[in-house]
Structure 1
Amino acid sequence: MALRPITIVAFVTGAAVAVGASTMQRVVGVGVPAAVAQREARPTGSAVKAAVVAMDDERIRLAQIELRPAAPGTVAKRLAVPGTIVPDAGRVAHVSVKLSGTVAELRKIIGDDVVKDEVLAVLESREVADAKSEYLAARLSNELQQDLTARDKSLWEGRAVPEQQYIKSRNAAAQTAMRFGIARQKLLALGVRDDEIAALPQAPDASLRSQNVRAPISGRVAERKVELGTAVGRDNLETELFVIVDLARVWVDLSVSSADLPMVKEGQPVSISTRGLSENSTARIVFVSPLLDKDTRTARVVAAIENADGRWRPGSFVTAAIAIEERAAPVVAPFSAIQTVEGHKAVFVRTKDGFEKRNVVLGQRDGQSVEIISGLAAGETLAVSNTFSLKAELSKPGAED
């Protein structure tokens, strides 16, 4: 039992010697082990200073660093499927002729922009000349007969002529009016417009054989199938003159497997991306086919996408990410703003002196955006492009003071 106090004293004494040795090494300048030096040199608590890259507005402009504020947004779970850009079926027009004739004038070529009702070509046709002549004759005959009938009615009311003469005149007026209406409808069927028909009585005789071919929609001439002097019309001749396509809005043709089809609904947003374009565009599903392809067991899904700038060309292959589950996120930032610094995900927040490196915790990624769970507040401005240069600047000696 007398040995226990001696053992305890020895242990305490040894600890004191160890502490004293460490203190003695610092006092006399003897080297301290590296791990101990690093542990003692590391600042703690409020002594830690933020990592800041000093940079003024001019240097930011020269470095081509884009700034953008973090903001609330939505993130979605998406189903990725391949797709193809195709023209909107409701925005394609095949311009055909309704009569036989010869191409006398061509006013548009491939690639020209056209507006609705603009004249594309002029045809010369005996058929349209006969129809216009028949209309003018029927119009004149109807006007004369209507005048005679009005006169006979006045005479009959004054008892100057018998009622039978007035009835006969009234029947003749009804027949001429019917022939006049039939002649007008024939011209409309041949493609002559109402305003052109109204102008026929004052038109020169040479224009009677001419027929204007007009654009049914606004768009761009994608095909022109005739040349000057080409005979067109019936009897196995070419009837289609132009194809006009309006690409202000296009379709994305998708094939979705039967297993994924229950998650796809009309009205869902779709993120469209392709090689060569840095930014995605948003489309919206307008049609989900109720039928499956018997060979591939996939269904056709169509999404509509605005294309005013013409970036989406029909025939292009794209990747479509269908949003099947969306939720709100307090802070969303472009994924290009994220860098890995010393094993941690970080962003560079704009300050009055430059950029502050801020460690962040990432949540769900949605295409080119990512949810920020912590480390960044909505409204803070951060660098979203060329952030690697900031990371390199931070690693230089003296960047963290």
Structure 2
Amino acid sequence: MIYKKFQDLQLSTLGMGAIRLPTIDGDDGKIDTSATEEIVAYAMEQGVNYYDTAWGYHNGNSELVMGAALKKYPRDKFYLATKFPGYDLANMPKVKEIFEKQLEKCQVDYFDFYLFHNVCEMNIDAYLDKEKYGIFSYLMEQKKNGRIKRLGFSAHGGYDVMKRFLDAYGEHMEFCQLQLNYVDWELQKCKEKVELVSSYNIPIWVMEPVRGGKLAKLAEGDEQRLRALRPDEKTVAWAFRFLQSLPQVTVTLSGMSNFQQLKENITTYAENKPLNDEEMKTILSIADGMLSGKLPCTACRYCTNHCPQGLDIPTLLELYNEHSFTGGGFIAPMALSALPENKRPSACIGCRSCEAVCPQQIKISEAMADFTAKLNG
């Protein structure tokens, strides 16, 4: 197992994410506890020392199961992370109640790592409101009391949202967890996000390294290109090698839902094999190909000056691209929920004034109609 130094710790560069634990009969709320304990035991044996869970994973049962599984090991042999569930605005007034309950569920006296969960357009105002909810001050108090050892945040929001959060709290944040992989390097502007976080001297933790499994298997032509460069490297390993090539990354979390995935990932992380220049160009070229259906908006904003509805068309097209590539998901609906109804894709009246000035000749009105249909199921 490869390790990286973080402050006074040596962290396994592969961490176990507890968002996709093995389940019974496909029911996300029914975790297979024996299978999970077997996975944790093997991970511990092979040197994985970082475990990440959260309040809402597996309908609230992930913290319970991970707490019980890790209870079998000395407390100084693993690092446990969980998060304040700000993805649900109803939780904002309950930071103390939730934090105490999390300690109880995980059967620990402190968390090694604790995060503001999912900083995004929907919750940024609430997270930054120090008077109304006091989330930041409460978590800083728990850090002072030793019940949080290291404080950080995860983010699915856009660059501007992350900038607001970092401007307010960046000096107190010790790590940042990002959805990061070679497709999102462009699709979600992760390159710019990595540069932003690094400008605050904050190391990066990675979530969704294989994009929910999309990067575990590629088109045959793309896999052939990779095999020509590294004949013995599995396709899924390329996603991890990409991340090993980024010096800003400290820990990569993988939601390993079965024993085979765990074994393969541990084998990959037995050695550090970053990509060379040719390999990096190839993997990013493959990502470009996967995004070939992406609308080529350059955010010139000519369209916004001609929209009678005042829609932020470039942002809506960026969310449309993400939603289309993912085949749904929560990121676009989450971001749109922060907008008033009259600024969402459904507010487009199809006048095509924007299309008349679009240098890329994007059929924006059709994209807005399609986006609305996708969002409505």
Q: Same fold (TM over 0.5)?
A: no
TM-score (norm 1): 0.17
Q: Which of the two has greater strand per residue?
A: 1
For the pair shown, which has the larger CA radius of gyration, 1 or 2?
1
TM-score (norm 2): 0.18
Q: Which of the two has greater helix per residue?
A: 2
